[in-house]
Chains A and B, each alone.
Chain A
């Protein structure tokens, strides 16, 4: 009985994983790509010629079986990180990603030190 339940759970988990992989939200991808020839618009919001072409290319990449991250990497490779609203972690931007955590930990340490001193 136990084996059956475990077996069913495994099938359920795998099904869910496969389903989440297959159902790429194309609109989400459009929203995460910046329209380079527009003023503050995403590919999803824009009707410009450039946005229309990018939409066609994204559709083709999905048909080729590319994942969401692979699509972002492809676009960033051709147009630089600027095209992606959330740039991926790289050598150039690692300070940007790490800095808030450094400030957080540093701040916590300073506060901790002050409290300890006050108590002492």
Chain B
């Protein structure tokens, strides 16, 4: 009996230590990168300056699509814009911009000033569309493939290493 209790106690402590070890080595900052590998839901996007619509299913025509969430009032969006302009020149990649809680006139001025890298711009006046993509702040970008599977999620402005990773993925 004594031995059983000793084994049980030891197992219990090892279990507790194991839990602590796993939890302490876990990444603390919250992000939605768990969406990587999931397929996009069926969503219809509305063009931000017209009555045109884009069914997300249509993105299957592209080899790769980068869905970028941006707004004219967002400072970091300004920072990443030059990266998007370069990515626009990549033939295998199409860029879809989702204008997040923005005024159309301000968004147009923003693109006039910095250039328009997008092949399609959708509007998300109240931010509700972005919830379907697991967005909780902008800028955020989602790289998807032909099967509409999320290959990567970039939270915050696109950095040089993100650019390199995108190029590596699509080639």
Q: How large is the interface on B (under 10, 10 to 19, 20 to 34, 35 or more residues)?
A: 10 to 19
Choose among A37, A56, A57, A113 the residue that contacts B137 (Cβ–Cβ < 8 A). Answer: A37
- Of all chain A residues, which has the CB nearest B38? A77
Is A80 in contact with B128, judged by CB distance below 8 angstroms?
Answer: no
B34 CB within 8 Å of chain A: yes
B98-136 with Cβ < 8 A to chain A:
101, 126-128, 130-134, 136
Is B32 in contact with A79, judged by CB distance below 8 angstroms?
Answer: yes
Q: How large is the interface on A (under 10, 10 to 19, 20 to 34, 35 or more residues)?
A: 10 to 19
In the assembled complex, which residues on chain A have CB atoms less than 8 Å from the CB atom of B34?
80
Is B128 in contact with A78, judged by CB distance below 8 angstroms?
Answer: no
What secondary structure prevails in chain B residues at the interface with A? loop
A80–B8 Cα distance when bound, in Å, is 34
Is B32 in contact with A80, judged by CB distance below 8 angstroms?
Answer: yes
A14 CB within 8 Å of chain B: no
Is A36 in contact with B128, judged by CB distance below 8 angstroms?
Answer: no
Is B126 in contact with A53, judged by CB distance below 8 angstroms?
Answer: yes
A82 CB within 8 Å of chain B: yes
Is A78 in contact with B131, judged by CB distance below 8 angstroms?
Answer: yes
Choose among B32, B128, B134 the residue that contacts A60 (Cβ–Cβ < 8 A). Answer: B128
Binary flags per residue of A82-102, CB closer than 8 Å to B gives 1, else 0: 100000000000000000000
The interface of chain A, by Cβ under 8 A from chain B, is 36-37, 49-50, 53-54, 56-57, 60, 78-80, 82, 106, 110, 113, 117
Known: A54-B131, A56-B127, A57-B128; 19 extra A-B contacts, CB below 8 A, are: A37-B137, A49-B101, A49-B127, A50-B136, A50-B137, A53-B130, A53-B131, A56-B126, A57-B131, A60-B128, A78-B32, A78-B131, A78-B132, A79-B32, A82-B30, A110-B5, A110-B8, A113-B1, A117-B1
